[in-house]
Structure 1
Amino acid sequence: MLTSLVIYSQTGQVRGIVLDENSSPVAFANITFAQGGTQSNENGFYQLEVPSNQEVVITISYVGYKNVVFTVDLKPNEFIEINPVLKVEVAQIGEVVISSKNRAAVQGITTVSPEAIRKIPGANPGVENLLKTLPGVSSNNELSTQYSVRGGNFDENLVYVNEIEVYRPFLIRSGQQEGLSFVNTDLVRTVDFSAGGFQAKYGDKLSSVLDITYRRPVDFGGRVNLNLLGGSAAVEGVSANNKFSGIIGVRYRDNSLLVDARETETNYDPSFADVQAYLTYQFSKKFEVGFLGNIAVNEYNYEPETRQTNFGTLQDPIALLVFYDGQEEDRYDTYFGALKATYTLSENYTAKLIASTYHTKEQEHFDILAQYRLGAVNTDLGSDDLGEVEFSEAVGGQLTSAKNDLDALITTVQHKGQFIKDRLQLDYGIKYNREDIRDRVREFEVIDSAGFSVRPPLPDFQNNQPYEPFDAPLEPFTSVRAFNETVIERVQSFAQASYKTQLNNHEIWLNGGVRSHAWTVDDERTASSNSQHVFSPRAQVAIKPDWKTDMLFRVSGGVYYQPPFYRELRDSTGTVRPQVKAQRSLHLVLGNEYSFNLWNRPFTLTSEAYFKELDDVNPYTIENVRIRYRARNNAEAYAYGLDLRLNGEFVPGTESWVSIGVLKTEENIDDRGYIARPTDQRFKFAALFQDYVPKFPNFKAFLNLVYNTGLPGGSPSYADPYDFQTRLRDYRRVDFGVLYVVTDETKPAKKGSWLANFEELNVGVEIFNMFDNQNSITNTFVRDAASQQLYAVPNFLTPRVFNIRLGVRF
């Protein structure tokens, strides 16, 4: 004890928050002196022990910023608070050698704060919850982590974690079945997002790129988050020699709180859990190996009982009353592992080798009988039967059954290299993929209306039941039976160059590149095979004029291809069609970023106008989150729009933003004329707002607001989409949260207090769907043989729900 006291008395402490020129925290900046050092955390906070009674020179550095150097001379046990401001290193150039903020602006990338992701309220919290507040991103389903970008669908978005592409399950058809997103927010360091016009180094998709980087620990720590929907825990640490570091996260989620509040009464037993780890080992200063692993076990047991949906108008209210029998048992188990080796050959050249394996085993088993009554609702305010169906206009039943099983193994090997010399940066890569898929589809639907079995609307015969007798065997309305064994092999490569120059003191960034993608589809069941090859040139130009006004102009685009994945190869009958071609899209994006001060605080207005022309389009329909392709390249399409986002310190010391998006996208199938695509989200308004009580800054408030105009309502099975162009109601949702910070870096606990064991402790209350809006995701189409009418009954999403949360970091 005496030795420890002597040692402790010989040190002092320097601490504070590293800031950039916009007063935003700089995460993972290096704080060093001759005998040691540390890094700032994700909030920019650092704490450094230094020898006392001597002058110590401390250097604070971060890539893209000028170093800050200062000297301290502390007495034993003395501490001093220093909050340095890093300025952009104007002499540095290129993609990597400019600041991260400027680099993102040049590339058209939106950077999202991980801390905001963890605190913003949402029924499905995480990265995707925050993405949905951006102008070009749309989602009308809070139970789902999927999103569409600028008229694209869920399958058109790339997701990378530490440069490793990740995937989502195949058989998910409802948002409440999805469970957890792959991205674990407790592990996240940076989040970059591009809504279009992205560089050649990214893969072959038509819409967007989400690029996640996981945190590399510099010390021991952890965090725990608990709420009524589940919880998560993460722990991180480094070895004594700083060569090995690791971070491990565990998550569990139960959607019962949300699903039990819906209009359908159910016995619901979900279980969504995963374990994820990111480990690195540094063999030398030049060579290190990282491992990313994930195991997810998702079980979804669902037994509906009754449902009543009131719709129609005030003058003509209608209700659908359904009685269910049967259940659904789904299971999705995924296993993912990846190794990434990085070798710095010289200060100019870095090589990487990445290998990954993704294995998913999925089952979707259900037999559900739904017997319904459709009729007029009692509107007598004095009646005991107010709101109940008093006169049935249609009765019937529907039996749906599925025994679907899928087993997929995806393996990838990739080499990437980067060369930087002065103003020039060269990137290249080559990648091999093998997708081995075993898929059994067995599902059918039988529909009964007024005692008559409804046959499929095939053009070979006329069915005028019940007015004319029809003598034929009974058949299900839909029936799909298929077993597919499909192997897809891909070879992808890219090369691109980035260069920075000047013209009359105007800074100019140039980027150009090309991708190559060759693939072969082998369907073992039909003994058919097909090979194809495409090239994708892309370019970006950004100009920062030498004006007093801080502006940056950007133009980007190219030819983007999306070679078909397994889902896109399988048609409505379950048959795999290897001859399906890659969808092609011509992108043109014009962007502007204007930074200014308002109320003596920094703000940025980002504007992007875009146009996409598509051909060889593979038409599809969306049922909740399940996409059903026609597996034919028999359409052409277009999308254009305008995205606006104003972000800054609406409240001093916090970041908030307002987003506005305008979009129009249509498709022309078989030259029959243009109709709205399923993702035709005409207008979007979103706001993310953070605030605190001025005299009590530990009371914080978070507001997440989204308004989307209604999407096309879809069409029933076998129906012609040209006959169903009605839209769903507008999507309106506000999630609100209040958080009380008991202790954190800005309010440290007293020594000796039990709170001193925590770096941060907070408790909060959240209100999901604060104004209890009735939003719908799809329509249930109810057929009435007597009147020969087809009713589109909306499927409503979650009502107002209250949640309690607890967050701990140590």
Structure 2
Amino acid sequence: MRNFSFLLPLFLFISTYINAQEATIEGIILDENDVPVPGANISYTNGGTQTNENGYYELNFPANQEVVLTITYVGFKKIETTISPITANKKVELNFVLKTDVEQIGTVTITGNRNNRVEGITTISPETIRKIPGANAGVENLLKTLPGVTSNNELSSQYAVRGGNYDENLVYVNEIQVYRPFLIRSGQQEGLSFVNTDMVRNVEFSAGGFQAKYGDKLSSVLDITYRRPVDFGASLDLSLLGGSASIENVSENGKFSGIAGIRYRDNSLFVNAKETETNFRPRFADAQTYLTYQFSEKFELSFLGNIAINQYDYEPLTRQTNFGTISDPMALLIFYEGQEQDQYETYFGAFKATYEVSDNYTTKLIASAYNTQEQEYFDILAQYRLGEVNTDIGGENVGEVEFSEGVGSQLTHARNDLDALIFNLQHLGTITEEDHKIDYGIKYTHEDIRDRVREYEIIDSAGFSIRPPFDDFQNNQPYEPYDAQIAPYNNIRAFNETQINRFQAFAQWSYKTEIDSAEIYINAGARTHVWNISGENIESNTQQVTSVRGQLAWKPNWEKDMIFRLSGGLYYQPPFYRALRDSTGAVRPEVKAQKSTHIVLGNDYSFKLGGRPFTLVSEAYYKSITDVNPYTIENVRIRYRARNNAEAYAYGLDLRLNGEFVPGTESWVSFGYMKTEENIDDRGYIARPTDQRLKFAVLFQDYVPAIPALKFYLNMVYNTGLPGGSPSYADPYDYQTRLRDYRRADAGFSYVFADRNNQHPEGHWLNRFKELSIGFEIFNLFDNQNAITNTFVRDVYSQNLYSVPNYLSPRVFNLKLSMKF
């Protein structure tokens, strides 16, 4: 028998060599604001490593076998992912993003990663938000470039989505619902949006078909996440419109972190450029902070706070608006006396406790309080002349009113005060088990609102006081004397003390699986809402609604990267205080929740063109709305009828092509078609106040190839005209004319001295800056005359009623300086 013992050392050597074969992965660990995370742990069963101060790591592990990789860092959710086998001696780059709120579980295939777009959520980069020019720059400025989102007032942060109004949009910051003031009636009074873009880490937006975990509104959800600092940082932005500053830091042990920002805004640059000559003193300022403390790996406490003080002093002097046609030019010339003094103070604070009971169960408790104290005081006398305009181009008086066809005056008076306190207590929970996920929540809300309304309007035309257009009024003068007291044309007096208690609960189930190599995502949920309305001289009323919602997404195993979505359900919107108050100022507790059956069919197609990534998002939608509470819009103020006496519908198509039109930049083109109508008291369908049929929008970023530090930004929107509204007490069925089309382009130019791609050496004066740029902005680049509403003026002689457009701001220039440390 032969002796093979000499081969044993050879087998041992070969076995040891094979087992010692390794592969390598390397990359960078970032947070969701693309900031490197130093000290993050990357490990597998038999080894691990940490990221350096730049967030970089390199890890060796056995080749040719699956490895379960775990990435952890204090304050962030861990990532557990399976790495498919890698051949020996091969190095692969894998970059990960740590998140604070979202569990990340999945399988990484080295041949490529696919984006999860199953929920139909639009994600907007915070950097894009900060760079794109706009008269009211911020998150809402970019939302208005998305299909299905409309707004025709550049000084307002309000927006309408797919036929809804400004009150039908949910806004969350770190899962905490935020509110806006009640009495605002003009975009130029708003000042600042709640969202501070200097603090934003992530922006997600859904224009419809959203999940049951979100509250009871009919139109959209804006979900904002503020970032958690990982190092010291500061920023400063200055412009002719105001400025903002922020500072952030983290403790040495990494447990405590905080970010704070202050903002100031002055809209006089826009208002002074309008047709109305005024003395205008706006003061809009706020301070905001987000603090977190990590008590342990399982328990965290955070605080979100905001104080906003907005003062608006307005003293109009004169105004001349030319309108009509070339053959029949008209002008409205107004001389004013009096002033308006408004003040809006809001205070908001919220605590959020997060406890990770186990790897599969996370629970949260959120308590928030919101207080707004608002006053709206004005006495303005407007004496007007309506007449023909001199069209002699060579004459000295060209453009002036030569012959008056109508003379009159209007006195408006208001002493409106509102004090609202809203308290919320909410519990949220998330349970995960393999591919299943269950979210649930319960919420209690108490609203205490004290509201005093004192408004009147007196119209005088050629010495005669015009009475309210009531049906029972008859004037047989001079044959019969009329000896009744003089009554204002419009008069509202009311004092309301209203308390609303709400109980809400939801539960939803999410499931992800594969069928024939196609990914399937299912989400189904339900929520219920019970509310009680009571108060002084109000009969207590309790109502309840229950809604169901669902989403289905299918990602076939095609060569083309496509996702198909179907979502919708039953959506309710229980009345908020504004929807309970009718035109007389009285609160009507019997007002029911508006109900909408909503269906959305969507498709995402991701592809590469010229080696650059693009995504085409298409969505078709239909809404059937019942128990509608009709309303009118005056600038940005909504006036409800406080009756559920209408039904409505909305349908449309939204398209958005997003991608790198210029390498390294994000741009998109949007198109939307939408039609929405309502039927009041079975009188037939007419256009709703937000019926804006066509929309085109472009958001474009570019740079000069030879000078990459010189950048260009363009924000361009075209909307067809909205319904022009109707005079007070008028029948909307008699006034279905539209405003002119809305056309606006804002352009920005900036030169970047320093950023993350252009750092300067030690000792250089620019080395202290992480980012430094100076910019020049042109608002309303083509100087288009856009109108927001109509002023209705009567011609005494012909008895004609003219709708005179109220124009928005013309072309305005701005300088901007931005820096980060």
Normalising by structure 1, we get a TM-score of 0.91
Evaluate the alpha carbon distance shift between residue 99 and residue 173 of structure 1 in structure 2; reply closer, same or farther with a 3 A threshold.
Answer: farther
Per-residue CA shift, 1:110-169, capped at 9, x if unaligned? 000000000000000000000000001000000100000000000000000000000000
3-state secondary structure, aligned to 1:548: coil
Query: In the alignment, which residue of structure 1 is the partner of 2:720?
Result: 709
* 1:773 paired to 2:749: no
* 1:802 paired to 2:802: no
Superposed, 1:538-617 pairs within 5 Å as 538-617=549-628
| Conserved? CA contact 1:59–1:68, under 8 Å | no
Per-residue CA shift, 1:601-635, capped at 9, x if unaligned? 11000000000000000000000000000000000
Which residue, 381, 400, 417 being the options, matches 2:412? 400
Shift of 1:450: 1.8
| Conserved? CA contact 1:466–1:785, under 8 Å | no
Q: Which runs of 5+ in 1 are unaligned?
A: 1-14, 40-45, 51-57, 71-81
Query: In the alignment, which residue of structure 1 is the partner of 2:690?
Result: 679
Which residue, 314, 317, 330 being the options, matches 2:329? 317
3-state secondary structure, aligned to 1:757: coil
Superposed, 1:64-463 pairs within 5 Å as 84=93, 86=95, 97=105, 105-463=117-475
Query: In the alignment, which residue of structure 1 is the partner of 2:675?
Result: 664
Shift of 1:501: 1.3
Evaluate the alpha carbon distance shift between residue 63 and residue 807 of structure 1 in structure 2; reply closer, same or farther with a 3 A threshold.
Answer: farther
The separation in 1 between residues aligned to 2:184 and 2:305, in whole angstroms, is: 22
The separation in 2 between residues aligned to 1:139 and 1:466, in whole angstroms, is: 49
- Tell me the amino acid that sits aligned with residue 740 of structure 2: R
| Conserved? CA contact 1:95–1:425, under 8 Å | no
| Conserved? CA contact 1:699–1:741, under 8 Å | yes
| Conserved? CA contact 1:111–1:190, under 8 Å | yes
Shift of 1:695: 1.4
The separation in 2 between residues aligned to 1:226 and 1:320, in whole angstroms, is: 38
- Tell me the amino acid that sits aligned with residue 576 of structure 1: V
The separation in 2 between residues aligned to 1:713 and 1:791, in whole angstroms, is: 12
Per-residue CA shift, 1:666-722, capped at 9, x if unaligned? 000000000000000100000000000111111110000000000000011111000
Query: In the alignment, which residue of structure 2 is the partner of 1:499?
Result: 511
Evaluate the alpha carbon distance shift between residue 368 and residue 358 of structure 1 in structure 2; reply closer, same or farther with a 3 A threshold.
Answer: same
Query: In the alignment, which residue of structure 1 is the partner of 2:62?
Result: none
The separation in 1 between residues aligned to 2:275 and 2:95, in whole angstroms, is: 54
3-state secondary structure, aligned to 2:484: coil
* 1:783 paired to 2:798: no
3-state secondary structure, aligned to 1:106: coil
| Conserved? CA contact 2:769–2:819, under 8 Å | yes
The separation in 1 between residues aligned to 2:295 and 2:478, in whole angstroms, is: 78
| Conserved? CA contact 2:71–2:79, under 8 Å | no
- Tell me the amino acid that sits aligned with residue 710 of structure 2: F
The separation in 1 between residues aligned to 2:535 and 2:117, in whole angstroms, is: 44
Evaluate the alpha carbon distance shift between residue 724 and residue 221 of structure 1 in structure 2; reply closer, same or farther with a 3 A threshold.
Answer: same
3-state secondary structure, aligned to 2:269: helix
Query: In the alignment, which residue of structure 2 is the partner of 1:698?
Result: 709
The separation in 1 between residues aligned to 2:85 and 2:286, in whole angstroms, is: 44
| Conserved? CA contact 1:490–1:519, under 8 Å | yes
Per-residue CA shift, 1:201-239, capped at 9, x if unaligned? 000000000000001000000111110000000000001
Query: In the alignment, which residue of structure 2 is the partner of 1:648?
Result: 659
Superposed, 1:528-543 pairs within 5 Å as 528-543=539-554
| Conserved? CA contact 1:59–1:69, under 8 Å | no
Which residue, 503, 508, 521 being the options, matches 1:509? 521
Per-residue CA shift, 1:704-747, capped at 9, x if unaligned? 00000000000111110000000000000000000110011111
Query: In the alignment, which residue of structure 2 is the partner of 1:43?
Result: none
3-state secondary structure, aligned to 2:733: helix
| Conserved? CA contact 1:67–1:86, under 8 Å | no
The separation in 1 between residues aligned to 2:238 and 2:466, in whole angstroms, is: 49
Evaluate the alpha carbon distance shift between residue 203 and residue 731 of structure 1 in structure 2; reply closer, same or farther with a 3 A threshold.
Answer: same
Shift of 1:449: 1.2
Q: How many residues align?
A: 765
| Conserved? CA contact 1:450–1:784, under 8 Å | no
Evaluate the alpha carbon distance shift between residue 779 and residue 307 of structure 1 in structure 2; reply closer, same or farther with a 3 A threshold.
Answer: same
The separation in 1 between residues aligned to 2:594 and 2:417, in whole angstroms, is: 28
Query: In the alignment, which residue of structure 2 is the partner of 1:76?
Result: none
Normalising by structure 2, we get a TM-score of 0.90
| Conserved? CA contact 1:643–1:659, under 8 Å | yes
Query: In the alignment, which residue of structure 2 is the partner of 1:488?
Result: 500
Shift of 1:470: 4.7
Per-residue CA shift, 1:636-675, capped at 9, x if unaligned? 0000000000000100111100000000000000000000
| Conserved? CA contact 2:129–2:139, under 8 Å | yes
- Tell me the amino acid that sits aligned with residue 233 of structure 1: A
The separation in 2 between residues aligned to 1:464 and 1:410, in whole angstroms, is: 52
The separation in 2 between residues aligned to 1:277 and 1:599, in whole angstroms, is: 43
Per-residue CA shift, 1:423-464, capped at 9, x if unaligned? 000000000000000000000000011221111110002347
Shift of 1:421: 0.8
Shift of 1:104: 6.0
- Tell me the amino acid that sits aligned with residue 755 of structure 1: L
3-state secondary structure, aligned to 1:755: coil
3-state secondary structure, aligned to 1:803: strand
Evaluate the alpha carbon distance shift between residue 466 and residue 707 of structure 1 in structure 2; reply closer, same or farther with a 3 A threshold.
Answer: farther
Evaluate the alpha carbon distance shift between residue 268 and residue 160 of structure 1 in structure 2; reply closer, same or farther with a 3 A threshold.
Answer: same
The separation in 2 between residues aligned to 1:202 and 1:339, in whole angstroms, is: 19
The separation in 1 between residues aligned to 2:679 and 2:435, in whole angstroms, is: 46
* 1:793 paired to 2:811: no
Shift of 1:504: 1.0
Query: In the alignment, which residue of structure 2 is the partner of 1:75?
Result: none
Shift of 1:497: 0.2
3-state secondary structure, aligned to 2:118: helix
The separation in 2 between residues aligned to 1:466 and 1:177, in whole angstroms, is: 46
Shift of 1:789: 1.5
The separation in 2 between residues aligned to 1:59 and 1:693, in whole angstroms, is: 42
3-state secondary structure, aligned to 2:117: helix
Q: Which has the larger radius of gyration?
A: 2
3-state secondary structure, aligned to 1:250: strand
3-state secondary structure, aligned to 1:107: coil
* 1:755 paired to 2:766: yes
- Tell me the amino acid that sits aligned with residue 807 of structure 1: S
| Conserved? CA contact 1:766–1:804, under 8 Å | yes
| Conserved? CA contact 1:279–1:290, under 8 Å | yes
Shift of 1:84: 4.9
Shift of 1:754: 1.6
| Conserved? CA contact 1:778–1:795, under 8 Å | yes
* 1:523 paired to 2:547: no
